[in-house]
Structure 1
Amino acid sequence: MPITRRVLAAALSLAGICGAFPLRLIGIATAAEAADASNDLSKPTSLPEMVLGASGAPVRIIEYAASTCPHCARFNRDVFPKLKSEFIDTGKVRYVFREFPLNIKDVACAMVARTIANNDSGKYFAVIDVMFRQQDDLVKKTTDTLKRIAHQAGLGDQAVEDCLRDQATLDKIQADQKFAIDTLKIEGTPTFFVNGTMIVGEIEFEELSKRINSLLKT
């Protein structure tokens, strides 16, 4: 059954609802799977892409992640700052972040992050970083934590409530997730595509750095 704004509001009002689906299969896709996925990665998504890095960067990394995923939070904390400093800010990597909600709370986080950012990628990545760092609070008290984060960005309670009632954005998030599942065969978070090659699960900076450098040499 599709998630509607009524279902979203009702779910968020229930204390302690988590409903995470930990489908995290660690590994790398086969060559055929990676080729198929690569052909579809550039297709337009329903929502504007949230991107950091030069448009002409030789390496393109796409991350599918969820705000309540602890593996994604660890990547954001331990790996992403080094990746940004050494490869994104230096024009070697273009980085794309796409939402892949694992539960109703991830949907709410994605909607609020999109509202705060208002299609500004810099703002979006800043908000996502805050959400990952406050993940425990988001899981325990989703609505209160989202409102607190929104207040810091200058949005009031009513703006958050209006955001969570935005059926159009909700439909787009669901459409993009359906595309990720049906076409790209994504099953969990985090999932990365490095120049089209799928990497499923957590990856350390050293391994990611090796992959990037090998592509920079070609």
Structure 2
Amino acid sequence: MSRSRFGATRRGLLGFGAALVLAASPLSAQAQKAAPEAPAKAPLDLLMAEPPLPDIWLGDPKAPVTIIEYASMTCGHCARFNTEVFPILRSKFIDTGKVRFTLREFPLDPLAAAAAMLARCAGDKREAVVELLFQQQKNWAFVNNPLEALRDTVKQTGMGPTAFEACLNDQAVFDKINQIRDTAAQKFGINATPTFFINGEKHSGEIPADKLDEILAPFLKP
């Protein structure tokens, strides 16, 4: 499970410089101060409230199980879940009407915030961009010039340099991703990724593929 070290400012993102790719300061002081002890179960009214950037749901709205994942695009555990476990979750539970699922942004660092912004700027391609960035995470997140590598990676989705820069200059998207992250920290005690809420019940850390049935079984009892 990856711990938060988010200390980004808008200047760090928009300057395309060292502040974006090297910052490693903790979660914002406000979020740290306000973060409660991690609850075992989140209040459903708060958890299900529409976030500043709308949830993009997969699965039947009437599914008996609702899963919300808080993830960071630079989190290796999140990438492994997305590439190895999520396809099983999707085929076995989401596509069969048992689970509905959404991913919410919880960037651990400025580069993750940039990646989250780019996914949101992709509009209806957001899911495809998230999948691509997780699949190719090692090619852009852990290299000498990650910003350039990130630009080259999203180019595969049709996003050119002008759109790339415009997205990272989008104050509204930046602020809303910050709000999603800070609400998760302050209200739900999240300080690491991935964190899952299954029908409001909190599960911290990666869910292995061989544990999916065991974890979901109690929520799928007739």
What is the match of residue 131 of structure 1? Answer: 133
The number of residue pairs the alignment matches comes to 205
What is the match of residue 212 of structure 1? Answer: 216
Q: Percent identity?
A: 42
Q: Does 1:9 align with 2:14?
A: yes
CA distance in 2, matches of 1:64, 1:168: 20
Q: Does 1:47 align with 2:49?
A: no
TM-score (norm 1): 0.85
Match of 2:24 among 14, 19, 26: 19
Q: Which runs of no fewer than 5 residues in structure 1 stay unpaired?
A: 23-29
Within a 5 Å distance, the mapping from 1:182-201 to structure 2 comes to 182-201=186-205
Q: Secondary structure at the match of 1:199?
A: strand
Q: Which runs of no fewer than 5 residues in structure 2 stay unpaired?
A: 1-5, 28-36
CA contact 1:67–1:73 (8 Å) conserved in 2 = yes
Match of 1:89 among 63, 75, 95: 95
Q: Secondary structure at the match of 1:51?
A: coil
Instruction: Provide closer, same or farther for how the CA distance between residues 16 and 107 of structure 1 changes in structure 2, counting only shifts above 3 A.
Output: closer
Shift of 1:103: 0.3
Shift of 1:35: 3.5
CA distance in 1, matches of 2:186, 2:26: 17
Moved more, 105-114 or 70-79: 70-79
CA distance in 1, matches of 2:90, 2:65: 13
TM-score (norm 2): 0.84
CA contact 1:64–1:189 (8 Å) conserved in 2 = yes
CA distance in 2, matches of 1:214, 1:6: 46
Instruction: Provide closer, same or farther for how the CA distance between residues 43 and 53 of structure 1 changes in structure 2, counting only shifts above 3 A.
Output: same
Q: Does 1:66 align with 2:72?
A: yes
What is the match of residue 31 of structure 2? Answer: none
